[in-house]
Amino acid sequence: MKLRNKINLYTAFLFALLLLLINITVYYSFNKLIIDSEISTANKEIKKISENIGLSLGSIPEGALLRSYVPVNGMIQIVTADNKSLPAVTSPGEQNLSKRKAEFFNSEVSKTIKYQGLQYTFESMPIILQDGSIANLQITKSMDTATDNLSILRIVLFMVTLLALIPVLISSRFLSNLITKPVTSMIRTMTEIRQSGRFKTIKLEGKSKDELFQMGETFNHMIELLEVNFEKQQQFASNASHELKTPLTIIESYASLLKRRGLKEPQLFAESIEAIHSEAIRMKEMTEQLLLIARNQEQWNIEVNQLNLHELITQSVNAFKNAYNREIKWVEEIDPPIIIHTDEKKLKQLLFIFLDNARKYSDEEIVVTAGIEKEEVFIKIIDCGIGIQEDELPKVFDRFYRVDKARSRKQGGSGLGLSLAKEIANAIGISIHLESKLGVGTTATLFYKKKMKI
């Protein structure tokens, strides 16, 4: 059974059950009120009649006296202690009551009885006859009017229940559509994705921000993540097949040369080993960079800590100096230490990428500065190298783009460094700005956009 039909069925059933319980409660409460009212009225009547009859006994014949007090729809009689009834007087429509067996009671009785399928109020009141004996004055009165009213009430309540189910069914239909709309939309969207192979999100409506809206948002976010991961996988496969083809070809060529002539020509042997080693290292670095770029930002495992910017840059500069034996000038443009909150490893990795680029494309001294500009912390890496043409600056963050392709290949560059730097910067909330002049050099500025302390 579909969820929509289940909601319709359960809602209608529960509402009908609730309405039925309410109507039953109303009916039995009203029934009790009517019966209590009829008994109370009959009790008051018999008390008044018994007083009047007690005063008139002996002066008026018993038959005539009872006839004057007979109910319009009932019977009045006097029952002696030996369960014998003096001639009973009945109304024209209730003559069958005279056939009912008489019964004497020692005390006052007030109740309802059923006789021949009809309901009556029965009142018995002790009285003293003219000869001093005790008898019962009994009045039996039909409850047809009350019974008819209760029958009408039953019919009305039944009709109300049926009529109330109509808006219940309509509202439950509307409710089921409202609840299942996001689910139906998700099913339809997932079916379209499966059939077309293209990712799609569902359109969200309403401003209530309820659980259904949140479910839709979660679904859209999941689809976006799947799409990003799928695109990154495709890019990784494309990038890997594109970029690894050249070093693999070089390794294969030199390996073939080694097989044919390597043992005979030592110079060729040394050249081949060096080329294979160089390409293997470049492939390793490129593979690591491709794997990092293929990650989703949510998979970077960012660990935010409080860092002293001066100490972090000093450590990075000293490590780079020792690794490549290059002269790097570190200048801090503000005296008090700058405290930031970010991922230490990712920021160091970002600095190494730009320092490595400065090393590759400049033989002069590299300058690193840090400070605050327009309430933003900045780090600048300045080189006096070959520079970049202005029209090429927007392209340098594209994957596999090389400004100087010949030199990049010689230096072992893959064109992935700045693309990886952009991914890392986005992950830790840093913006990158490049300034460069051809033949003069390049300045890379990292702006930290989060809160800082001085």
pLDDT digits (tens, 9 = 90+) for 427-453: 888 999 999 888 889 999 999 875 444
Helix (H) or strand (E) holding 198: none
CA distance 262 to 251: 14
Higher pLDDT, 203 or 379: 379
Helix count (H) and strand count (E) of the chain? 10, 13
State the average pLDDT over residues 162-182.
Answer: 79
Long-range contact set of residues 141-145: C-beta below 8 Å, sequence gap at least 24: 141/38, 141/42, 141/71, 141/73, 141/74, 142/71, 142/73, 142/74, 142/93, 142/94, 142/118, 143/35, 143/38, 143/112, 143/118, 143/119, 144/73, 144/118
What pLDDT sits at residue 408? 43
pLDDT value at position 403?
Answer: 59
Could you tell me the pLDDT band of residue 67, with boundaries at 50, 70 and 90? confident
The pLDDT confidence band at residue 375, using thresholds 50, 70 and 90, is confident
pLDDT for residue 235 is more than 70: no
**Overall residue count recorded for the chain in this entry:** 454
Which residue's structure tokens are 């439950």?
172
For residue 443, what pLDDT is reported?
92
**Mean of the per-residue pLDDT values for the chain?**
80
Full-model pTM: 0.44
| Helix (H/G/I), strand (E/B), else coil: 387 | coil
At residue 219, the pLDDT reads: 80
Please answer whether residues 312 and 348 qualify as being in contact, where contact means their C-beta atoms are separated by less than 8 angstroms.
yes
Q: What structural domains and CATH numbers belong to the chain?
A: 3-151 (3.30.450.20), 303-453 (3.30.565.10)
Query: What pLDDT is recorded for position 296?
Result: 52
DSSP string, 214-252: HHHHHHHHHHHHHHHHHHHHHHHHHHHHHHSHHHHHHHH
Residue 236, pLDDT score: 64
Name which of 5-19, 203-217, 386-400 the model is least confident about: 203-217
Please say if the pLDDT value at position 398 is more than 80. no
Reported as a single tens digit per residue, the pLDDT across 244-287 is: 666 677 778 878 878 887 677 777 788 778 878 877 876 776 67
Q: What is the pLDDT of residue 374?
A: 79
Of residues 321 and 241, the one with the higher pLDDT is: 321
Q: Rounded distance, CA 187 to CA 181, Å?
A: 10
Predicted pLDDT at 367: 93
pLDDT at 409: 40
450 phi, psi to nearest 5 deg: -90, 180
Per DSSP bridges, beta strands 134-142 and 118-128 are antiparallel
- Of 310, 293, 297, the closest CA to residue 399 belongs to 293
Residue 105 has pLDDT above 70, yes or no: yes
With 50 as the cut, is the pLDDT of residue 407 above it?
no
> Torsion angle of alpha carbons 382, 388, 393, 399, nearest 10°?
-100
Nearest to 380 by CA among 339, 336, 330, 451: 330
pLDDT at 366: 92
